[in-house]
Amino acid sequence: MSSDTIQAQFHLTRATPGQSDFTLDVDLTLANRGVTAIFGQSGSGKTTFLRCIAGLEKAPLGKLHVHGETWQDESRFVPTYQRPIGYVFQEASLFAHLTAAQNIEFAVKRAKPRPTVSQQTHIIRLMGLENLLQRYPHQLSGGERQRVAIARALLIQPRLLLMDEPLASLDSARKREILPYLTQLRRELDIPIFYVSHSVEEIAQLADDVVVLEAGKVIAQGEISQIFSRTDLPPLSGFDTGALWQGIVSERDTQWHLAKITCPGGDIWVRDNGDILGKEVRIRILARDVSLTHSQHQDTSISNRLDSCITCIEPDTDPAMVLVHLACGSD
């Protein structure tokens, strides 16, 4: 049993009236660091897996070892309230009669060990809550409420943070508002995070490793760059097929509100999101946004032009289309 990994083995069958039984059958060794995304389409078993980790579902003969400790095996089952976890749900679930500060204090009082004042200040700053602490939940936007919920989960001093589609109930504007905070959280905190989502864009921005579930079974697992380069996985095929690049913000065009991202495959101009120069970012290039030419075209509105080489052509999920693999620079 290694403290460097989290080992989870669950077999759970749930009967649903009028529908086929659902079975979760997983045996995983997961990284005890960074963000591991539990990814898949609706009904694939993502939330059930997370509930088993939290102890909210008890899988018969399940095994769970975290930080070298046994949370579940044949003879032991640690109840949810004794597991050092933070859990963020789709809805913020704040106490309506308490301010944001009081909601956070509710967690602080129950944390073991209790976080120091500097730790509390750090989390509040990290989630951008300094000017929101005296507001009640009904005075906050959906994104602000979820940021309070995340701060509350972090301040119970968890050794594992579970996030179950925390952006699913937010509109596009609120998602764009909260994603930078989650990205910063991933960079600054040394807490392993299991992040459940069916959103390709969220996973692309946040995850270090990915587990792909389908019908309760693991169909792929690995580093995000490996998983997102595959075109045979249902959540990443068809309309969502693309490449994930990592680069550095190297230049800003204030006139056209663009930022240049320098990647191993070449320079890409994208909309300026206000990221500072030198910051590492990820960009996802969708196949449907790429055009191919034999020569350098000047009479086009396409702002990014990269030299590339066709390495493979394969059938697409649409029989009228093909998928073309390109090599650009070292990508």
Tell me, yes or no, whether 291 and 228 share the same domain.
Answer: no
Q: Give CA–CA dist 330/225, Å, rounded.
A: 14
Lay out the sheet containing 280-286: strands in order across: 266-271, 258-263, 242-253, 280-286
Tell me, yes or no, whether 131 and 254 share the same domain.
Answer: no
Please provide the size of the chain in residues. 331
Domain range for 266 is 242-327
Tell me, yes or no, whether 18 and 53 share the same domain.
Answer: yes
Tell me, yes or no, whether 63 and 180 share the same domain.
Answer: yes
Residue at token pair 């760059």: 225
Name the pLDDT band for 251 (thresholds 50, 70, 90).
very high
Last residue of a domain, one of 210, 240, 270: 240
Answer whether 286's CB lies under 8 Å from 268's CB. Answer: no
Number of neighbours of residue 206 by Cβ within 10 angstroms: 23
Tell me, yes or no, whether 235 and 249 share the same domain.
Answer: no
Tell me, yes or no, whether 227 and 261 share the same domain.
Answer: no
- Calculate the average pLDDT of the chain: 91
In the predicted structure, residue 331 carries a pLDDT above the cut 70: no
Tell me, yes or no, whether 235 and 97 share the same domain.
Answer: yes
Residue of 259 and 330 predicted with greater confidence: 259
Last residue of a domain, one of 174, 207, 240: 240
Answer whether 103's CB lies under 8 Å from 95's CB. Answer: yes
**pTM of the entire predicted model:** 0.88
pLDDT in tens, 33-64: 999 999 998 889 999 999 999 999 999 889 99
> The CATH number of the domain where 78 resides is what?
3.40.50.300
Number of domains in the chain: 2
In the predicted structure, residue 230 carries a pLDDT above the cut 60: yes
Residue at token pair 């490793």: 209
Residue of 243 and 299 predicted with greater confidence: 243
Supply the pLDDT for residue 180: 87
What Rg, from alpha-carbon coordinates, does the chain have?
22
Tell me, yes or no, whether 236 and 251 share the same domain.
Answer: no
Tell me, yes or no, whether 15 and 31 share the same domain.
Answer: yes
Query: Residue 35: which of 6, 69, 61 has the closest Cα?
Result: 6
Tell me, yes or no, whether 236 and 134 share the same domain.
Answer: yes
- Tokens (6 digits) for 228: 């997102």
pLDDT in tens, 266-310: 999 999 988 899 999 999 998 888 989 888 877 788 889 999 999
Tell me, yes or no, whether 105 and 79 share the same domain.
Answer: yes
